[in-house]
Amino acid sequence: MAESTPSPSDALLPPAMAAKAEALGVAKVRLPLLPLFLLAVLAGAFIALGAVFATTVTTGAAGTMSWGLARLLGGFVFSLGLILVVVAGAELFTGNNLIVMAWAGRKIGTGALLRNWIVVYLGNFTGALATVGIMLLTRQHEFAGGDVGRHAIAIAAHKCELEFVQAVALGAMGNALVCLAVWLCFSARSTTDKVLAIVFPITAFVAAGFEHSVANMYFVPSGILIAGDMDITVEGLSWGRFFASNLLPVTLGNILGGSGMVGAIYWLIYLRGRDADT
């Protein structure tokens, strides 16, 4: 009996997903500087929009539902950010940690990898901060009698309270799930496939309280500036604490989780032997 030929609508299987991830990594590092930076700015803004959505929807949730359900709701709506990145097209630092698969197979050099990560990271930060500025102009933090703003401040303050090692671990787990969402999208044949692949891993990472550097580029600066605008003083909520206690360790954790816990593992499973034979 002849074997059936896979339909073009069938999802890709993991070995083909790995080859696709490697080829995409090569394509990403070859992007010219300006388009790469602008796509990164878009990604920072897209993730920030997910953060705006989550902050707004979970405002006041503590008084009406359990902590877990409130986190679940926040994670579900935060999925908007990665959906926009993947479907609309943008360059996200945390997702680009999977480029390590092309680097491990010696399809790209270390310099090309670092160039992509640095440019995209700075672009993401630019997009997130631009969104912070626009949101301040909207005065949206004054909605619900100022509860939206106070909730944003509380989120930012919590992130600045993390211990360094804790933040690294939370960042590793957070980007493992983000990169798994991106990895699942490599199997997708349609936009619907991509959306469904994204929602559950992203909801899980937010619900569990894990950390994401690009999201924090919005959450913490937004909380700091809103606190200043509302004349609210919160001990420990400062730019220094943001960079030293959150952004730095979370970024390191994100690289560990995305590159090490997802990218490197799948390269070892599906590509190492193949690359050795070619």
Angle at 223 between CA 249 and CA 62, to 5 degrees: 95
DSSP letter at 139 equals: T
The residue-averaged pLDDT of 245-271 equals 98
pLDDT of residue 9: 60
Tokens of 53: 């959505």
Backbone angle region of 6, left / alpha / beta, with phi > 0 → left and psi within -120 to 50 → alpha: beta
DSSP 46-114: HHHHHHHHHHHHHTTGGGTS-HHHHHHHHHHHHTHHHHIIIIII---TTGGGGGHHHHHTTSS-HHHHH
Structure-token pair, residue 78? 């935060």
**Predicted structure pTM score:** 0.94
- Round the average pLDDT of the chain to a whole number and report it: 95
> d(Cα 19, Cα 101) in Å, to the nearest integer?
9
Q: What token pair was written down for 31? A: 């992007």
CA distances 254 to 31, 107, 112, 213, 234, Å, are: 23, 23, 19, 7, 27
| R_g (Cα) of the chain, nearest Å | 19
Q: How far apart are CA 24 and CA 154, in angstroms?
A: 38
- 179 with 14: CB under 8 angstroms? no
On the 0-12 / 13-18 / 19+ scale of CB atoms within 10 A, 26 is middle
Closest C-alpha among 44, 266, 68 to residue 133: 44
CB atoms under 10 Å from CB of 133, counted, come to 11
Work out the number of other CB atoms within 10 angstroms of the CB of residue 265. Answer: 13
Banded pLDDT at 118 (limits 50, 70, 90) = very high
Q: What is the DSSP letter of 231?
A: T
- Interval 213-255: pLDDT, tens: 999 999 999 999 999 999 999 999 999 999 999 999 999 999 9
Closest CA to 25 of 276, 197, 266, 269: 266
Residue 166: CB atoms within 10 A of its CB come to 14
- Average pLDDT of the segment spanning 1-10: 54
pLDDT band at 3 (very low <50, low <70, confident <90, very high): very low
Place of tokens 């500087």: 33
- Per-residue model confidence as pLDDT tens digits over 57-98: 999 998 889 999 999 999 999 999 999 999 999 999 999 999
Domain boundaries, the chain: 14-277
Q: How far apart are CA 273 and CA 278, in angstroms?
A: 9
Distance between CA atoms of 148 and 145, rounded to whole angstroms? Answer: 8
CATH class as words, domain 14-277: mainly alpha
Spatial contact of 207 and 77, defined as CB atoms under 8 Å apart: no
Integer Cα distance of 160 and 180 in angstroms: 26
